[in-house]
Amino acid sequence: AQSVTQLGSHVSVSEGALVLLRCNYSSSVPPYLFWYVQYPNQGLQLLLKYTTGATLVKGINGFEAEFKKSETSFHLTKPSAHMSDAAEYFCAVRSNRDDKIIFGKGTRLHILP
Amino acid sequence: DAGITQSPRHKVTETGTPVTLRCHQTENHRYMYWYRQDPGHGLRLIHYSYGVKDTDKGEVSDGYSVSRSKTEDFLLTLESATSSQTSVYFCAISEETVNTEAFFGQGTRLTVV
């Protein structure tokens, strides 16, 4: 069965600094990977996704993620944090074996002025 | 926003009473999912559906049942609500192709007292 591990339930970065949110997955078949963002009292919004092809994926709001099969990782980055990036971020994995979409426990990103 | 409507948006109920949450979509997507979101646990899959009358269990299905009698509606029922089922419940939908993401509703906040 597939699973997702997000390292760090809370991450704090200064405004303008690099954002790095970590995600490792476990899947017995080629995975499809997603990052979602959730702002307070809202639903989840897709940031980006990896399906096949290019391993560096660009998403909305300046975020990108790199799929590394050898490390079973899909870390999310943004070169320069903005106050508006404060939110909770979820990594998710989907396989073509059973179509379940499994989420990690989430990382809350805090932006320091 | 994808056409997903969850109802009710907020509900307070007493322990031992039955509760039904409704998810309605206007996108004609094949897959529908129910998740619960709790602090420290992220989103956990309760049940999902891959077609009319086709459903399967997720990670935390005990105490929940689902039904899908038509493409657009996916119902989640708590047969006898318990305080541990106090949570925010999200419905999500996805197209048939496995490399597509899920789109989320706005959530239902359920409190069992």
Token code pair at residue A8: 């760090």
Q: Which residues contact B39 (CB under 8 A, 6 or more apart)?
A: none
- For strands A3-7 and A19-26, give the pairing: antiparallel
Contact B42 A106 (CB under 8 A): yes
A106 in contact with chain B, both atoms CB, cutoff 8 A? yes
Average confidence (pLDDT) over B47-57: 95
Question: Which helix (H) or strand (E) segment is B37 a member of?
Answer: strand B31-38
- CB contacts of A103 in chain B (<8 Å) are 35, 42-45
Question: What is the average per-residue pLDDT within B103-111?
Answer: 95
pLDDT per residue as tens digits for the range A51-80? 888 889 999 999 999 999 999 999 999 999
Contact B56 A106 (CB under 8 A): no
Say whether pLDDT at A29 is over 70.
yes
pLDDT of residue B41: 92
What percent of chain A lies above the pLDDT cut of 90? 76
Residue of B nearest to A4 (CA): B42
What the block records as the tokens of A11 is 């991450």
Which long-range contacts (C-beta less than 8 Å, at least 24 apart) are formed by B29-32? B29/B93, B29/B94, B29/B95, B29/B96, B29/B103, B30/B71, B30/B94, B30/B95, B30/B96, B31/A99, B31/B93, B31/B94, B31/B95, B31/B96, B31/B102, B32/B68, B32/B74, B32/B91, B32/B92, B32/B93, B32/B94
- Both tokens assigned to A28: 């017995």
- In percent, the amount of chain B with pLDDT more than 70 equals 97
The closest CB to that of A90, out of B43, B48, B105, belongs to B43
CA distance B20 to chain A (A): 20
What is the structure's pLDDT at B27? 93
What is the arithmetic mean of pLDDT over A80-106?
91
Per-residue pLDDT, averaged over A25-45, amounts to 88
Q: Kindly state whether A42 is in contact with chain B, defined as any CB-CB distance less than 8 angstroms.
A: yes
Binning pLDDT at 50, 70 and 90, where does residue B92 land?
A: very high
Backbone phi, then psi, for A83, in 5-degree steps?
-55, -35
Task: Give the model's confidence band at B2: pLDDT under 50 very low, under 70 low, under 90 confident, else very high.
Answer: low
Q: Does pLDDT of A36 surpass 70? A: yes
Q: How far, in Å, CA of B45 to CA of B37, rounded?
A: 9
The arithmetic mean of pLDDT across residues B47-68, rounded, is 95
Q: How confident is the model at residue B1 (pLDDT cuts 50, 70, 90)?
A: low
Average pLDDT taken over every residue of chain A: 92
Query: Which of left, alpha, beta for A16 (phi over 0: left; psi -120 to 50: alpha)?
Result: left
Cβ A44–B43 below 8 Å, yes or no? yes
